[in-house]
Structure formats: structure tokens, C-alpha cells
Structure 1
Amino acid sequence: MHLVTTDPAARACPACGTFATRVKERIVTRPRDLSRGGSAVRIRWHKRRRPCRETACERASFTEQIAQTPARMHITERLRTACGQAVVDGGRTVVQTGRDLGPTWPVVMRATRAFAKQVLPETPPATEAIGIDETRRGRPVWKLDEDSGKWTLEADAWHIGFVDAIGGQGLFGQVEGRNATAVAAWPNAQPTWWSSRIRYVAIDLCATFRSAIRTALPHATVVVDAFLIVQLAQRHLADLRRRLTWKQHGRRARKGDAIYTVRKLLRRNAEDLTPEQHRTLTNELTVMGTYGKQILAGWKTKELLRDVLRLTYKHAHTAPALSAISAARYRFQAHCADHAFLPELTTLAETVDQWWDGIEAYVLTGITNAASEGNNRVIKLDARNAFGFRNRASQRLRSRSATTRRARREGVPD
């Protein structure tokens, strides 16, 4: 396709804005554009070089340019926009976008940064609850300090993500490092109007996160994710089962052992067991004798803890009363106290007491950290599709683009 410039504004000098009346020479450029009908379009742009009439202007001459293809640009604006949109909104990798649309990797990456700057807000959207969780980005990078002879950490292996816990707006931002200073730095960098609206912060059982929240968001309430509490109880129950199995048999459980028969039933919830499965669980552990009864007590401890967590409105379909929460907590603590000779149950009870404020906040609000876990899955999938990232800033940009894609699509009117 052979093209000429018809826009009158192309005759204006870019430096002073004076319109030229003469033509100095003609040149031909070959800008790249989007394909049409599945075939590449080869463009020959016949441009004019014009002298500037303003004697005080620094530029003696200039070449015609339009907004779609600025000066010294060999790629049209719509092709650059399509490259950035394919990566940010389409979920394609930079390499695949270059193969599909034609530009090289650096051009696509620059287009991705420019498009992301347009569609991603500079300030996180307002919300009342955020979730904090870590995701591994690769191996740590160490650098040798030639002056001191010591190795210093240049790139941490972990990224801490801040997500919208209740609004589905995706990832707000990421920081590098799992220490309290790094975690508190991100909320401190946000505007006051945004941080003052945060009422709840959902985290896992991480003392570092709790310390950072108390420093950066002292007015916010820490909410412990219920999934982590149940996972902790399951882990202590598994440790109890393994310890008592070795104590009784001097080996791991084998097929034919009573504990081997019910090992999977111990991980099931009480309400999910059929009457026959419940009888099997009780009878097989009773056959084991004292050790089996202790394992059954560990399973009941896990269920009593779940009874506390199931007082939320999502499960009980009614607002939880403080008296009901206190009664359920007492039953759990009393059962652990009756079996204080089992160190696994004692440790579980101590951990629950240390994090009780966050657990009670979950029962009252029902807020979880599921949004963080879902965003971590998307982040890992995006990194896997790209065969990993070398640039940490680019990884954070790509992670935020991938996790906010759905929210941005829902916000665009039809």
C-alpha cells in the first residue's frame, strides 16, 4: 500500500508550530501496521520533508508526522496498542505476542508498560479489607561486596502481595522480602484516605505480617484465614497419628493395621462421614486400644475447633453471638486440657490462644484470605507460561496485570 499524508497538521513544525509552505525533498518510509485478513500489510509512506519558515526556530527542516506514527517511529500506534493489550488484557506472553503481531521483544515490552500505565490505576481502589500473602518468585540473588568481603542479598526469593479481600479487584501491589519492614512499607506509601478506610486485614499464621500490620495499619483488625487454622489442626492430628503408630508398631502403618484403614477418614469432616464410616472410624481406633483412643481424641479436637469456625454467618446462616463463640471456645479448650498429656493437642491449643483475636474476627466477619490464594495461582501460572522472569519489576507489572484482568473487564461497559 502506497500512502501520502493528507492531514494538514502534518505541515506544522514540531518545534515552533509554524506551518510550512514548501517541500524540501521526498522520502519513503516503511512503517509496520496490523495485519489485515490474516496477511501482513506492507506500507510505503511517501513523506515530505519541509523547511521551517521561522528563522528563530532551532529546526531547519522536519518530516511529516501524524499522531498514529510519530517522528522516527516505524510502528503504528495501533500496532503498539494491540501488542500491549495482548499481554495485559489477553494473557499472552511477550514472546508469543511478538510472534503473532511481528514486533520484537523489546518493542512489545515497551508497549506493554505503556498500555499497563494507561489501564492500571496509580492508586489502589478503595476497599475495607485487604489480604496479605507471599508467593515465591524464584531463587534469591546474592552479590559479593568487594570492600567487606560479605555476601549481601540483592534479590529476595519472595514477593508479598496485597489484594482486595472482598471486592474482587485483584492485586493492589507487591513488595520484595518477607520481613516486617518491607511489608509495612507498602501500606505506608499509600495515601492517607486509602489506608484510613482499611478495617480488616486477612493473613495467615505469620507473626511478621501481624507485626507489620500493627505498625502500618494500627486501626485495622487482623483476621486469620480459617483454612490455615483447619490445616494447622490437620497437621497436628497427622503428627499425633504418626507418633502413636510408631510407638505401638515401631514402624509406619501398613495395610491390615487398624490405623491404616482409617487414616483417610481422620482427614474427613464429621458432617461428611456417613453413619457407616463413623462407626468404622470409632471401632477401628477402639481396637487399637489406648493409642487408638488418643488418636480419636485428636480427631475430636480438630472437630471442636471446626465447630468454633462454623459459627460464621456463611455456615450458621445467622449472626454469631459472642456467648456462642465463648461456649464453643471453652469446649475446645476443656477438651485439650483433659488431654494435656498429648503434646500435639497442647501445642494446638496454645497456638489458638495466641491467635484468638484473629480467629474471633474471622468468626464475626467471615472474611478469608481466599483472594490472595487465588491471585497467587494466577501469578504462578503467568510466570510458568513465560518460562520465568528475570526482571523483578516486569514480573510485578505482569502479575498485577494478570490478577486485575477480570475486574477491568467487568468494569468496561458493553
Structure 2
Amino acid sequence: MRYFQDQSTKAWTRFEPWMTTIVDLDTGQVLGVVDGRDHKGVGDWLFARPLDWRLGVQVVAIDPSAAFRKALRMWLPRTAVAVDHFHLISHANQAMTETRQNLSQQVKGRRGRAVDKAWAHRMLLLRAGDQLSPRAALRLEEVFAVDNPTGALQAVWKVKEQLRALLRTGSLEDAEAAKNELEALVKAAGRPETNRLYRTVCRWWKEIEVLIITGATTGKVEANNTSIKNIKRTARGYRNPANYKSVILLRSAVRTAA
């Protein structure tokens, strides 16, 4: 939340810097822009849509946000909701990073340094294991051999890779089997970071199943968010939120129609 002062009246006005973008999954056109990232803003926008429009929505893809899910359950109760693949992988990568950082403090009593293999190759730990070149795979093995005395680093890496494998499955049966294997790896790791990640997977399991069946993601939303940031940079910032939203909607409509 931010506040701006009117230079003439000296009054302070509250301004919400965050916005939620609502995009058509088929065309990529921006349908609406609402202030904030809570359930009320999204819920009010959905409530303003005609009932026939709401009944026609079949699938919605969202970030793993409880606020968004609450609004959808309230106003689109019959709609299938998918959670975005990228954001789930981001949670797994965050667990990997936090594990590396915590282990460095626990084992060495300090933050990672360039002389530490795990720190020097910290980005390698986040890359997709099945897409590593032979040379990169050897570097990863060296990290686990030299800078993984407790074995926890490799255990968490296996959890991360298993989540990726789960999200690549093509059927609910395969997904359930992959989830069971993920649970076993999480128990073997015994780390708070992976326990938290697995709880997130369980809380969003219904939405993960919809993701596996439909393949719906928020990719087109992220693409539009990049365009929206470019609009704001070009204008050197907007002080009038209504004008800002109008430009976003008009430019998206023109680009979609072209």
C-alpha cells in the first residue's frame, strides 16, 4: 500500500500499487484489471459479469493464491480451477534455495561463499535435472559429493525433481502414483522446507489435477503483465488509475483483433 500527497490540498490519498489481470485463456485478451490481489477485488469483478457469462466459464488458471481461489469458489462454483505449473515449480526451487542457505548456516556457521560448491553452482541446483548436459550433470554430482555432508541437499533436490515429474504426468492415475513417490521422498528428506512444499501440493491437489487434465496455465497472463509494465514505463508512470486501466484494455483489444 502506498500514499500520495496532493500538493494543493496536502491531503494524503491511499493508492494500491498492485493489480490483478484477468485474461482470456483462448485469445490472450485482457478482460479486466482490478486493484489489489485479494478476493474482494476479483470477486467484485466477477459479480459484475452477467450470469450467462459466468456460467459459460469452463476453466480458470490461477497462481496458488488462496484469495483468488476463494473468489472463484464464491462466484464460479461450477468452474474447474487449475493452478499454474510455473508457480508450483517456483515453490520447489524456493525450498531448494532455502535448504542450501540453511545447511550452510548449520554446517559452516556462515553464508555461502564462492569457494563453496553449493553456492558456486546454486543456479545449477534449480535447473531441470533431465535437461542437463553431461558436463552440467558432472558438476552437479561434484556438488553433492563435495558440499553435501548431511545428504540433505541431494534429498531436497530429488523432491524438487519429483514434483517436476508429477506435473509432467498425463493422467490422474500417473499423477497419484507420482504424488505417493513424492510423499516418500519428502519423508526421507525430513526437512521443514520440503514438508512445507508437500503441504502446499496437498492443499492444491484438486487444482493440480485440473492442470494435468487441461494443461491450463497463466502463461498468457504473465505475457500481458510484461506488456502492462512496458505501458507504465513508456508513460513514466500513471497517476490516474482509470486512465491506466483503459489504456491496458484498449491496447490488448487492438493487439488481439490484429
Q: Paired residue for 2:240, among 391, 403, 413? A: 391
Specify which of 196, 217, 229 is matched with residue 347 of structure 1: 196
Equivalence for 1:228: 87
Pair 1:366 & 2:215 matched: yes
**Structure possessing the higher relative contact order (Cα contacts under 8 Å, 6 or more residues apart):** 2
1:304 counterpart residue number: 162
Distance in 2, Cα, partners of 1:268 & 1:365:
25
8 Å CA contact retained: 2:155, 2:188: no
Q: Which of residues 329, 333, 354 is equivalent to 2:179?
A: 329
Q: Deviations over 1:61-97 (max 9, x none)?
A: xxxxxxxxxxxxxxxxxxxxxxxxxxxxxxxxxxxxx
Residue type of the alignment partner of 2:245? R
Instruction: After TM superposition, give the deviation of residue 260 of structure 1 in Å.
Output: 3.0
Task: Find the structure with the greater CA-based Rg.
Answer: 1
Q: Tell whether 2:55 aligns with 1:206.
A: no
Question: Could you list the runs of 5+ residues in structure 2 that have no partner in the other structure?
Answer: none
For the 8 Å contact 1:379–1:403, the answer to whether it is kept is no
CA distance in 2, matches of 1:373, 1:289: 36
> Letter of the aligned partner of 1:347 in structure 2?
R
Check whether the contact 2:100–2:153 (CA below 8 A) recurs between aligned residues: yes
Does structure 1 residue 197 correspond to structure 2 residue 47?
A: no
* Separation in structure 2 between the aligned mates of residue 375 and residue 286 of structure 1, nearest angstrom: 43
TM-score, reference length from structure 1: 0.58
Percentage identity across paired residues of the two chains: 32
Alpha carbons 2:171, 2:212 under 8 Å: kept:
no
Structure 1: 4+ residue segments shifted above 6 A: none
Deviation at 1:245, TM superposition (A): 1.1
Separation of aligned partners in 1, 2:229 and 2:135:
41
| TM-superposed deviation, 1:140 | 4.3
Code of the residue aligned with 1:327 in structure 2: it is: A
Change (3 A) 1:228 1:363: same
Structure-2 separation of matches of 1:335 and 1:224: 22
User: Aligned-pair RMSD on alpha carbons?
Assistant: 2.0
Matches within 5 A, 1:97-176: 139-141=2-4, 154-168=14-28, 170-176=29-35
Residue 271 in 1 paired to residue 130 in 2? yes
CA distance, structure 2, for counterparts of residue 190 and residue 176 of structure 1: 17
Count of aligned positions:
254
Q: What's the CA shift for 1:280?
A: 2.8
| Higher fraction of helix | 2
Cα distance in 1 between the residues matched to 2:5 and 2:52? 38
Q: Structure 1 residues 395 and 193, CA, compared in 2 at 3 Å: closer, same or farther?
A: same
CA distance in 1, matches of 2:62, 2:137: 34
- Is the contact made by 1:389 and 1:395 (CA closer than 8 Å) also made in structure 2? yes
Partners in 2 of 1:254 and 1:197 — Cα distance? 54
